[in-house]
Chain A
Amino acid sequence: MEIFVQQLINGITLGSIYGLIAIGYTMVFGIIGMVNFSHGDVFMVSAFFALIFFLVLTQWLGVSSVIVALIIVMVISMILTGLLSWAIERIAYRPLRGSFRLAPLISAIGMSIVLSNFIQVAQGPRNKPTPPMVRDVYTLWDANGYAVTLSLKQIIIIAVTIILLAAFWYLVQKTPLGRAQRACEQDRKMAGLLGINVDRTISLTFVMGAALAAVAGTLFLMYYGVVHFADGFAPGIMAFTAAVLGGIGSLPGAVLGGLLIGLIETLWGQYVSADYKNVAAFSILVVVLIFMPQGILGRPEVEKV
C-alpha cells in the first residue's frame, strides 16, 4: 500500500512532464495533421539550455537562490526553445507543406537526428549533471518500515504544471490567438478568408508547444539532475504515446494521457519490470492505435469538415 502510494506520487510527477511535452505533439497534429517527430529532441535541447543557463547563473553570476535561478532559467529556455522550434518549422516543415503527406514526417525525423547529433557533438556523449538544485524531502507517513515521501521537487513539478496548464488553457480558449489557432485547426482555408495569417498561426503553435516542452525540460533536469543527448527519445515516445492515448488533437487528452502514461510507467517499473518500460509504452501505443485510434478524449474522425 505504501509502495503503491509512493509510486502514485512518482507517476503523477513523471506524468506532468509527459503531459507538458504531449501538448506540443497534439497541438501541431491538430493544426497541420503532422506528427512532429523532432519534438522529443526539442525537449532534450531545452533541458540543455536549462542546464547551461543554470550553471551560468549560479556559478558565474552568483545567483544564490535556486528558485530564482530556476525561474529565470525556465523563462530563458522557453524563449530559446521557442525560437529553435520556430526556425525548424520555417526551414524544415513549411517548405514541404502541400507536398506529399510523408514529406514533413521524414523531414521531422531528419531534424530529430540533427538535433541529437548536434548535442552529442557539442555537449559530449556522456550524462551532463547539475549540482543538486532542490533537496528537501517531506515524509508523509511512515509505516511497516516504509516511508512515503513527497519531495519539494515533485511539489514544484506538479504546481508548475498546473499553473502553466491553466494559463495555457486560458490562452487557447479565451484569447484571439487561441481562437485563431482553433479556427485554423477546424478549417484553415476559412480562417484565411477571415484575415487570419495561417502560416503565422502555425508558427506560433510550434512556438507554444516548444515553450511548454522547455518547461518540461527544465523540470526534467531539476528532477533527475542529469541530461543526456539521447534523452529526447524515450520521453518523446512516452509523450507521443500519451497524446495518442488521450486522443491526438485534444488538449485535455494530452494531459490525461500524460498522467496515465506516467502512472503506467512507474507502476510497471515497480511491479513488473524496470527494464521494459519502453516496451510497455510501445505496447500501449500499438493497442490504442488498433482498438481505439481516436483515443480517450479524441473525437471520431467523421466530425472533421
Chain B
Amino acid sequence: MTATNGSPLLAIRGVKTYYGNIIALKGVDVDVHPGEIVTLIGANGAGKSTLMMTVFGSPQAREGRITYQGQDITRMPPHEIARLRIAQSPEGRRIFPRMTVLENLQMGASLDGLKYFDEDAEKMFVLFPRLKERLNQRGGTLSGGEQQMLAIARALMARPKLLMLDEPSLGLAPLIVKQIFDAIRELNRTQGLTVFLVEQNAYHALKLAHRAYVMVNGVITMTGSGRELLENPEVRAAYLEGGRH
C-alpha cells in the first residue's frame, strides 16, 4: 500500500540542519500523508532524531522548508508548532522526572487547559493500564518501559493529528515493544492517527509502517513501502540481518 496521492500532512523539502558548523542533515525530503504510518530507519548517528527535532524548530533548519497542512512552519518556535497538534515522544523520552505520572499527563494536555483531561486520561489507561497503577509515582522512578508508555501517552494527551515517535522500542523488552507497537497500530486504524516513527528496530517498524525511508549520514538513501524495504536485500543486509529482531 503506497497511497501517497493528495497533499501531504507534513512535507519536508531540502532540509539542512547544522549543529554549529557541523552539518547533520544534508538536504532531506520526506512526506507524511494523512492517515499514514511512516517510518524512518537508519543507523545510530544518521540524523533521525535531528530530523524529528528540526520539524519542531529546535534546532531550526538552516535551509529548506517544512510545511504542515500547507503552512510553512520552518521558522516557528516549538510551542507554536505544538499548537498545530503535532506531538512528539522525543529521543530519551524526556519524562519530567520530579513530576508524577498524573502531572506528566497534565503537561501533555496543556494545549486544551485540561478541558478533555479526564476523558482522555481514561483512554490512556485503557491503552497502558500500567500508567493508572503508577499515577502518583514520580516520572523519574518509572522503569524504562513505563517511561516510554508515559511519553507516548503524554504526547497523545495533546490530541495530535500527527504523532512523532523517536525510537519507542529502545531498550525495552520484546513483550513491551509488541504492546507499544500494537497500540500505535490500533490508534492508526481506529482513529486515523498519522504517525511518523523513527526506529533502529527496523524489522518491527517496517512491518508496522505503510511507507518507510532509510537515512544514512544525513541523507535519505531509499524509500518505498514497508514491505518493499523489508524485502530489499540492501536493507536486509544493513538493518535486519544480525538477528537483532
Mark A residues whose CB is within 8 Å of B: 176, 179-180, 182-183, 186-187, 189-198, 303, 305
Contacts and interface: CB of A to CB of B under 8 A. Distances in A.
B97 A176 contact: no
A182 B140 CA distance: 14
Nearest to A198: B79
Interface in B82-141: 82-83, 87-88, 90, 94, 96-99, 103, 106-108, 110-111, 113-114, 140
B90 A195 contact: no
Contacts of A186: 96-99
Given A190-B90, A194-B154, A183 B96 contact: yes
Nearest to B92: A305
B83 A195 contact: yes
B78 interface: yes
B140 A303 contact: yes
What range describes how many residues of B lie at the interface?
20 to 34
A141 B154 CA distance: 59
Nearest 8 interchain pairs by C-beta? A195-B82, A192-B78, A190-B94, A186-B96, A195-B111, A197-B79, A192-B79, A195-B79
A187 B79 contact: no
Nearest to A197: B79
Contacts of B114: 176
21 contacts: A176-B114, A182-B103, A183-B107, A186-B96, A186-B98, A187-B96, A189-B94, A192-B58, A192-B78, A192-B79, A192-B82, A193-B56, A194-B82, A194-B154, A195-B79, A195-B82, A195-B111, A195-B158, A196-B110, A303-B140, A305-B94
B77 interface: yes
B94 A187 contact: yes
A148 B97 CA distance: 48
Interface of B: 56, 58, 77-79, 82-83, 87-88, 90, 94, 96-99, 103, 106-108, 110-111, 113-114, 140, 154, 158
A179 B106 contact: yes
A187 B114 CA distance: 20
Contacts of A180: 107, 110
Contacts of B96: 182-183, 186-187, 190
Contacts of B79: 192, 194-198
A185 B163 CA distance: 25
A195 B110 contact: yes
Contacts of A192: 56, 58, 77-79, 82
A303 B140 CA distance: 9
A249 B200 CA distance: 38
Contacts of B107: 179-180, 183, 191, 194, 196
Contacts of B88: 193
Contacts of A305: 94, 97
A99 to B, nearest CB: 15
A183 B99 contact: yes
Scoring B77, B94, B96, B111 by chain A CB atoms within 10 A of each residue's CB, the highest score goes to: B96
A197 B99 CA distance: 19
A194 B118 CA distance: 18
Contact of B90 (A182, A193, A197): A193
Nearest to A199: B77
B108 A194 contact: yes
Given A183-B96, A189-B78, A193-B88, 14 more contacts: A183-B99, A186-B96, A187-B96, A189-B94, A190-B96, A192-B58, A192-B82, A193-B58, A193-B90, A194-B82, A194-B154, A195-B111, A303-B98, A303-B140
A190 B78 CA distance: 9
A193 B98 contact: no
Contacts of A190: 90, 94, 96
Contacts of A196: 79, 107, 110
B78 A176 contact: no
Scoring A183, A192, A194 by chain B CB atoms within 10 A of each residue's CB, the highest score goes to: A194
A196 B82 CA distance: 9
Contacts of A193: 56, 58, 78, 82, 87-88, 90, 94
A303 B110 contact: no
B116 to A, nearest CB: 14
Contacts of B94: 187, 189-190, 193, 305
A180 B99 CA distance: 11
Contacts of A191: 107
A184 B87 CA distance: 17
Contacts of A194: 79, 82, 87, 107-108, 110-111, 154, 158
Scoring A182, A183, A192, A193 by chain B CB atoms within 10 A of each residue's CB, the highest score goes to: A193
A190 B155 CA distance: 11
Scoring A183, A190, A195 by chain B CB atoms within 10 A of each residue's CB, the highest score goes to: A195
